[in-house]
Amino acid sequence: MTGDRIDPFRGYNFSVSMSDSTSALSVAFSLSGIPSVGNFSECSGLETTLDVEDYKEGGNNGLIRKFPTRVTWGNIKLRRGIALNDELWLWHFDFVEGHGKRRDGVITLMDERQNPVKAWRFKRGLPVRYVGPAMNAAQSQIAIEELEIGHEGLKLMRGSGGLFGGF
């Protein structure tokens, strides 16, 4: 039996978009023309963990039952080469000064033709860590900045035409 082969999607073709968490546009902005935060060379931390509680049932020594308790989400880490745009630093520093605003975001994986195939939405993002570039005069590497975003939920958005429902 022959047919079309569907290869896994490659991890280098993605975009990151964010908007103010209180914005009415934050429900569906990944593909609606709102500009991305910038181009990133790396994105990691799209992870969720379900904590479980062990229950040792009396009289049943051969089994420990597991019950789900809380869900935790990993921090999202974004890395990119330093450019003239200071938006990531300014977002983080606004919180340092006590007047920052949380952001909702969408990380979209695209196919070879730039069509979105999967998207993960996080809500109420908070820039918990900013790392500036490591500089060394003996090397000619690109200066990289990193932003780590803590958030209050991650959801895989489903659908195609109306990519992707709300949270």
Residue 81 domain-assigned? yes
Average pLDDT over every residue of 100-105: 93
What span, in angstroms and rounded, lies between the C-alpha atoms of 11 and 67? 34
Q: Is 133 helix (H, G, I), strand (E, B) or coil?
A: coil
Average pLDDT over every residue of 126-149: 92
Residue 167 domain-assigned? no
What span, in angstroms and rounded, lies between the C-alpha atoms of 27 and 157? 11
Average pLDDT in the chain: 83
Domains identified in the chain, total number: 1
Span of 60-69, 106-115, 155-164 with lowest mean pLDDT = 155-164
pLDDT at residue 30 in the model: 40
Global pTM exceeds 0.75:
yes
pLDDT at residue 112 in the model: 82
What span, in angstroms and rounded, lies between the C-alpha atoms of 75 and 12? 19
pLDDT at residue 34 in the model: 45
In terms of residue numbers, what domain contains 32? 14-157
Residue 98 domain-assigned? yes
